[in-house]
Amino acid sequence: MSRPRSKRFLSREGRELRRELLIAPEPELGLVAMNGPGDPEPSLEVKDGRIVEIDGRSEAEFDVLDHFVARHGIDLEAAREAAGLDDAELARRLVDVDVPRADLVCLSRGLTPARLARIAGLLDPVELMFALKKLRARRRPANQAHVTNLKENPALLAADAAEAAARGFAELETTVGVSRYAPLNAMAILVGSQTGRPGVMTQCAIEERRSLALAIQGLTTYAETLSVYGTEPVFVDGDDSPWSKAFLASAYASRGIKVRFTSGGGSEALMGHAQGCSMLYLEARCLAVIRAAGSQGVQNGSISCVALVLSVPAGTRAILAENVLAAWLDLEVASGNDAIASHSPTRRAGKLMGQFLPGTDFVTSGYSVMPREDNMFGGGNYDADDLDEWLTLQRDWQVDAGIEPLSEERTVAVRERAARAVQAVFGAFGFPPVSEEEIEAATYGRDSGDLPDRDRAADVQAGDRVLAERISGLDVARELDRRGFTDVAEAVLGMQRQRVAADYLQTSAVIGPDGQVESAVNDPNRYGGPGTGYRLEGERWSKLQRLPHVVPARSLDGGVANGAPPLLAELGVAAREEGVEDVVIAVGPAFGGALRETIAGLAHADVLAALVEGVREVGGRPRVVRVRRVSDVAFIGHDGAQLSGSGVAVGLQSKGTALIHRSDLQPLDNLELFGMAPLLTLESYRAIGRNAAGYALGRRVGPVPTRLDNFARAKLIVRTTLLHARETAAIVPGAPPVELELTTGV
Amino acid sequence: MDFDPARDYPLGTRRPDLVTTPGGIPLADLTLAAVREGTLEAEEMRATPETLRRQADVARAAGRPELAANLERAAELASVPADDILAIYTALRPHRSSAAELEGWAGRLEAAGAPAAAAFVREAAEVYAQRGLLAREPAAV
């Protein structure tokens, strides 16, 4: 007979987390995060100024990556210095605030991939985060957004680009479902981005030839499609070599285009050629090639394979280690967090903290500013619906992860303007028109499902025209200006000017709204311990605190008197009365005075009436007193009990929290406590009155049934605090309790 | 004033006097007014080889010799036509070119005043030969 299943296990199996698989390491398949048993022993041998061995492989056995790194990626002088330091010492220096980043970058040129991976493997997660904070190239962190939609609607692309730019994203990335759309999509996000904030860089991720053509026409300013893999067979399957990719990088730079390479753990295992090595070691090989190629930066941190890396033990840690290695090699890091890492929001956030807290050059390689259903990158780890959470996390940690709050009013305005700007540009070039209906939907809609369908055949023809007629960024600027979008025209022209000066080709470059380029050259990260480096403070901190849904605390005061006459007349100092029927109802200092309602919104008069009725129902004699010297419910009840002939009292705070006390108990003890004031009803208070009288008369009493809602505290603790502050403000220090008139209304 | 790579970055804001388009138009003249007058061509809106070399100097002064080498190759390629650049990129992909074909491109780059890029292509040819990444069959360029 089979045993029954545990309902708790079954419940957990139904959670989102369990939709994904966790596996034990399989090193032979490359399914091991770091410190794999098949990773080579680090080695570096130099003979007559020539590198003849790297990580156990002799020159004759070098693959194409080894050859490239040997020729372009190792500095022999740094290698001599690094050879004199053991791994633990190098690991220690990574987290030593007194060792400057520049020294570590120099040393990194003397390290082979196996050694890099081994040293990173010595750091625990918090040490990795600290190293990342210290090693980031640019002082100030930033963020990158994804802007796409399923319908490839230009008005929606422009609106989303504008919102992203206005929210502070430094770079926007689009892509296409149909490659012929690329010119239009690139144009839409160029116009949208410059409407939202001048200086935001844009790219369109497509096949290299087309990508370069768009950049040459001034419709994009950067590219990050240059993928690198950690083994030769995968590199070759990707139809590239380190030389072809490096050449392409120089080609982009020759046209004034910023380039970032792409790599990330897990890709080699996924493509079947991990050669029995760990994900982190293979990523170290990628990074060595990328720096040797002269790239200013990389997007890494597993990227699209993130869910595979997270299937094995220490996956999250290995991904963070990848980012650390990239930063150590002095590369700009766009640190992943774009593809969906997990079904579980908890696990996603746990993974994110590794990059979010230290800060990276781009905390995500693509935050989906639109709902993830419209994300054509297969991204959307964080999306439009998560914006408030992201902003709140920044506010909670006092961390700048590159996204700014934006009011609904400003968001709608900037979205509409961008949609109108792209409408004007489409009109100018004779492209299929953008309708008023599209503008309305792009401004106020949630996703592309809210937009009408366009004539896609006509759109792709217009896309072909952009390339055939070489419609350029300059043409876009001219037409925007002619149609009254002069400021947007200026900004689009500004991006063309940036290509002439080429300042953004330097490491970690972003462009401010004034056109000033900030990069690791003129804004380097020189973190050297507390009080140094980038700190979120001053005006920027104020800005990131002011979320649209933050309310002034005082506006939450519910149930205040607002000058109404007191609910209950005071009859004089209360005395102890005799008789077992005597049940005192002791209320707090502000009850029926400064405050008139409980936190559950029950009128004080009704609550008191319910208590009185309850006491009477059982045969007790209710008497109401006000305790004035304290606001704590335990002492209110205890003070009341001292006056009660039966020794029993109900203590009642103005916010509705109640208890039943007895005079012989310690103040913080009680007979029954009703702490869940938000859940108490008038029937609850009547039952409390009945029980109090029951105790007074020595009857057999079953506790009042209560409900439990552990979220009530999270929801109401601010209001509780404010109400309690009112109660406390009404305290008269040392004043004796007063008897209150029990009017007929009560 | 001489160019100082350690101080003059960003060129666009610190040394606009040194920055021109390929046709010699100063950065300051790249205005919306010029766009309205129709005196600017899209082809003008790109960095000159000289600007790219200065950016290479900036990178080297900032301790980035690999980035500097990349930008120097870029400076050489700035005057190479885009179609040739894309053809060389394709030729450098695995199994696309024979050693002779790569040498042909290297020679053309050298002739076009791009010695570093030429050396880079020759280096690839050498390694591809060792790793079996040259074209298996003679391929048409």
* DSSP letters for A458-494: HHHHHHHHHHHTT--HHHHHHHHHHTT-HHHHHHHHH
Number of domains chain A is built from = 2
Judge if A448 and A310 occupy the same domain: yes
CA–CA distance, A333 with A185 (Å, rounded to integer) = 25
B130 touches chain A (CB under 8 A): yes
Which pLDDT does position A713 carry in this prediction? Answer: 87
Q: Are residues A399 and A298 in the same domain?
A: yes
From the candidates B46, B51, B86, B130, which should be mutated to test the interface with A, based on the most A CB atoms within 10 A? B46
| Residue A10: CB atoms within 10 Å | 10
A563 assigned to some structural domain: no
Let me know whether A585 and A527 are in one domain.
no
Residues A222 and A317 in one domain: yes
β partners of residue A583 = A622
The pLDDT, as a whole number, for residue A154 is: 98
Task: Report how far residue A724's alpha carbon sits from residue B102's, in angstroms, rounded to the nearest whole number.
Answer: 81
| Residue B39 touches partner A, C-beta closer than 8 Å | no
Q: Which of residues 194-223 of A touch B (CB under 8 A)?
A: 208-209, 212-213, 216-218
Beta strands A738-740 and A332-334, pairing class:
unpaired
Chain B residues 85-114 with CB within 8 Å of chain A: 85-86, 88-89, 92-95
Average pLDDT, chain B: 95
Same domain membership, residue A581 and residue A520: no
Whether residues A380 and A528 share a domain: the answer is yes
Q: What is the pLDDT of residues A668-681, one digit of tens each?
A: 999 999 999 999 99
A530 and A574 in a single domain? The answer is no
- In a domain, residue A550? The reply is no
CA A285 to CA A267: how far, in whole Å? 13
Task: Give chain B's domains with CATH numbers.
Answer: 1-79 (no CATH), 80-141 (1.10.1510.20)
- Chain A residues with CB under 8 Å of B95 CB are 236
Asked if residue A50 belongs to a domain, the reply is no
Q: How is the beta sheet containing A171-175 ordered, strand by strand?
A: A201-205, A171-175, A144-146, A367-368
Q: Is A516 on the interface with B (CB under 8 A)?
A: yes
A-chain residues near B45 (CB < 8 A): 218, 472-474, 496-497, 499-500
pLDDT at B138: 56
Domain annotation covers residue A139 = no
Residues of chain A under the 70 pLDDT cut: 1, 558, 743-746
- Residue A428, chain B, CB below 8 Å: the answer is no
Can you tell me the distance from the alpha carbon of A652 to that of A586, in angstroms, rounded to the nearest whole number?
6
Which of A495, A527, A543 is at the close of a domain?
Answer: A543
- What is the reported pLDDT for A663? 97
> Both A662 and A538 in a single domain?
no
Q: Which domain holds residue A208?
A: 144-543
DSSP string covering A272-293: T--TT--HHHHHHHHHHHHHHT
Query: Residue A466: inside a domain, yes or no?
Result: yes
- Chain B nearest C-alpha distance from A556 (Å): 50
Inside any domain, residue A4: no
Q: Are residues A473 and A574 in the same domain?
A: no
What is the per-residue pLDDT for A744?
Answer: 47
CATH code where residue A675 lies: 3.40.50.10150
Residue A733: cis peptide before it, omega within 30 degrees of 0: no
Residue B12, chain A, CB below 8 Å: the answer is: yes
List, as own/partner pairs, every contact residues A62-66 make where C-beta atoms lie below 8 angstroms and the sequence separation is at least 24, other chains included. A62/B130, A63/A231, A63/A232, A63/B131, A64/A232, A64/A235, A64/A236, A64/A241, A64/A242, A64/B127, A64/B128, A64/B131, A64/B133, A65/A230, A65/A231, A65/A232, A65/A235, A65/A242, A65/A285, A65/A288, A65/A289
Residue A58 touches chain B, beta carbons under 8 Å: no
Q: What is the CATH number of the domain that holds A441?
A: 3.20.20.350
In a domain? residue A477 = yes
Q: Are residues A468 and A613 both part of a single domain?
A: no
Distance CA B58, CA B3 (A): 10
- Does residue A135 form part of some domain? no
Q: What is the pLDDT of residue B79?
A: 93
Do A597 and A458 reside in the same domain of the chain?
A: no
Q: Cβ of A452: how many Cβ atoms within 10 Å?
A: 11
Q: Are residues A387 and A529 in the same domain?
A: yes
CA–CA min distance A236, chain B (Å): 6
Which amino acids of A are annotated catalytic?
144, 146, 173, 224, 299, 338, 365
